[in-house]
Structure 1
Amino acid sequence: MSEEKITTEEAKPVLVNGEEVSEGLIQQELQMLRERYSQEMSYTEMDEKAAKIESDARENAVERVLLMQKAREEIEELRPEEVEARFLALQEQHGGSDEFNKRFELTGDDVKKIKDDIADGVRLEKYFEKICAGVERPVEADSRAYYAAHEENFRIPESVHAAHIVQHPSPELPLERVNADLLNALERLKKGEDFEALAKEFSHCDDGQHDLGWFGRGQMVPSFEEVAFSTPAGACSDIFQTEFGYHILKVYEYKPAETRPYDEVRYDIESLLYDERKNEAIGAVADALRAEAKIENLVIVEE
């Protein structure tokens, strides 16, 4: 199938067992997918896969509706206070009851719809708990096996804590003056003067923040990074140029790359594996529901 972008405006509403999948739910799923994929691929790759990501969001929304429909069957009764407490919390997030109603100009029907949606959310949570009740927690052997197979995920890259003096040549500040100022600063540094004091005197940092804190490779431009990672801890660099100007850099401290020990990440791994098992259980239920469902107008974009 073509990768041409398909928008919800061009398509008929998706129906799941006769219930319309709302545009709001699709957009919510789309936002979550974009946030996840932004950590795994470049913006260019995301643009290239935009149609597929939108298609996946629609499919996820369909599964969500299927699970919600089943949750309404399985979890019929809710305690009113469960819904009311969440509604009150929602109001507080928007400045309280009066501000909430004023901001959104809610009618009685609107409030009922919001509470119905909250009730659906509570039912879905309870249904997920029911599905996952029999999911086994990982044991230490599982966690250690995962750690051994994914050790690269627990690598902490090398990093430096550095500060800099920077000047930007301009028609009002010719390069000759910049060189003279920085040579003066460098000579005074070699004589033991305080770096921070000289940075305040000479640097053109717009925010006045000469200390750059800790940073790893890939966080600065390559020309700056090359100097930062080749300057010994406690030392200052010579004058060097980047696309942002002319710099003198001081490295306060350096940390080599290292792997976080197993004991430090054990509980994170156990939580990850347990969540994966629960998601698999929920996914299996969604697949079974989908096999029996009547789904209309769902356009799927293949890779």
Structure 2
Amino acid sequence: MRQMRAQFKTEQEFTKALAGRGLTRERLRSDLQRKSGINAMMEAEVAGTVAVTDAEIREFYDKNPDKFKQPEAVRASHILIRAPQGGDEAAKKAARTKTADLLAQVRAGGDFGKLARENSSDGSAQQGGDLGFFPRGQMVPAFDQAAYALKPGQVSDIVETQFGYHIIKVTERRDATTVPLAEVTDRVREFLTGQRKQERAEAFIKVLKSKSKIEILI
């Protein structure tokens, strides 16, 4: 009740709002206590009756293969040199020249991560340019196309996007696959348990209302 009272500036406003809903403080207190008791009964009833077996987990896994597909993905790092959008050709040329110089350093054996940390304008610079894994189609088209054309260890030519100029290095590739059941067992068990608790709770409330005609406050 304190939380509800706190929403109003004065006691008078609170009392008026209750009256508008056909309630008094005493009726509200009684209803809240009843709701608390019902919730406790429901929790006790539901919690002790929910169990998910390994066979049910396997059945859900087998019947929902799309939920466990892991798409093809690449892991890449990049160096981004931002270039202004619009007509500042001199600044754009300077940005491309800097990118070309960095690309030459990379191809001469320079440390990609170090060069990214020192020069990249992207937030990934602190991680040496590492973007982690990303599926096909997640990045802007030019970047995506260039990254997926590379094999692990290969470095792209200069790639231009609306963000500027990129040098991309692919570090890993991962084929499309289905995540093994062993890796998702706990997640499936948690999902099915929650689903079953919800079903049991709804059934319990339905029975309770039909027997006692109790109004459940929402």
Check the 8 A contact 2:71/2:176 in 1, yes or no. Answer: yes
Q: CA deviation at 1:162?
A: 1.8
Given residue 61 of structure 2, which amino acid in structure 1 is its aligned partner? Y
> Where in structure 2 are the equivalents of 1:186-197 lying within 5 Å?
186-197=103-114
Given residue 211 of structure 1, which amino acid in structure 2 is its aligned partner? G
Distance 1:143 1:178, change over 3 A: same
2:69 maps to 1:69: no
Given residue 141 of structure 1, which amino acid in structure 2 is its aligned partner? A
**TM-score for both structures, normalised by structure 2:** 0.69
**TM-score for both structures, normalised by structure 1:** 0.52
> Where in structure 2 are the equivalents of 1:117-132 lying within 5 Å?
124=39, 126-132=40-46
Superposition RMSD in Å: 3.4
Distance 1:225 1:286, change over 3 A: farther
2:157 maps to 1:211: no
Aligned to 2:181: 262
> More deviation in 141-150 or 153-162?
153-162
| Distance in 2 separating the partners of 1:174 and 1:144 | 59
Check the 8 A contact 2:35/2:216 in 1, yes or no. Answer: no
| Distance in 2 separating the partners of 1:211 and 1:128 | 52
Given residue 34 of structure 2, which amino acid in structure 1 is its aligned partner? Q
> Where in structure 2 are the equivalents of 1:54-133 lying within 5 Å?
69=34, 71-72=36-37, 124=39, 126-132=40-46
Q: CA deviation at 1:235?
A: 0.8
Aligned to 1:273: 192
> Among residues 39, 44, 60, which one is paired with 1:146 in the alignment?
60
SS in 2 for 1:174: helix
Q: CA deviation at 1:167?
A: 1.3
Q: CA deviation at 1:13?
A: 4.3
> More deviation in 131-140 or 271-280?
131-140
Aligned to 2:157: 238
| Distance in 1 separating the partners of 2:179 and 2:216 | 47
Q: CA deviation at 1:207?
A: 7.1
Q: CA deviation at 1:184?
A: 2.1
Aligned to 1:180: 97
> More deviation in 246-255 or 171-180?
171-180
| Distance in 2 separating the partners of 1:250 and 1:233 | 8
Q: CA deviation at 1:168?
A: 1.7
Q: CA deviation at 1:239?
A: 0.7
Given residue 244 of structure 1, which amino acid in structure 2 is its aligned partner? F
| Distance in 2 separating the partners of 1:14 and 1:214 | 58
| Distance in 2 separating the partners of 1:239 and 1:180 | 10
Check the 8 A contact 1:156/1:260 in 2, yes or no. Answer: yes
Given residue 159 of structure 2, which amino acid in structure 1 is its aligned partner? F
Q: CA deviation at 1:142?
A: 1.3
| Distance in 2 separating the partners of 1:70 and 1:205 | 53
Given residue 177 of structure 1, which amino acid in structure 2 is its aligned partner? A
Q: CA deviation at 1:71?
A: 4.9
Question: Considering only CA atoms, is the larger Rg found in Structure 1 or Structure 2?
Answer: 2
| Distance in 2 separating the partners of 1:283 and 1:211 | 50
When the two structures are aligned, how many residues end up with a matched partner?
190
Aligned to 1:229: 148
Aligned to 2:201: 282
> Among residues 77, 85, 97, which one is paired with 1:163 in the alignment?
77
Distance 1:71 1:251, change over 3 A: same
Q: CA deviation at 1:283?
A: 0.8
| Distance in 2 separating the partners of 1:140 and 1:194 | 49
SS in 1 for 2:182: helix
Check the 8 A contact 2:82/2:165 in 1, yes or no. Answer: yes
| Distance in 2 separating the partners of 1:238 and 1:159 | 20
> More deviation in 236-245 or 154-163?
154-163
Given residue 92 of structure 2, which amino acid in structure 1 is its aligned partner? L
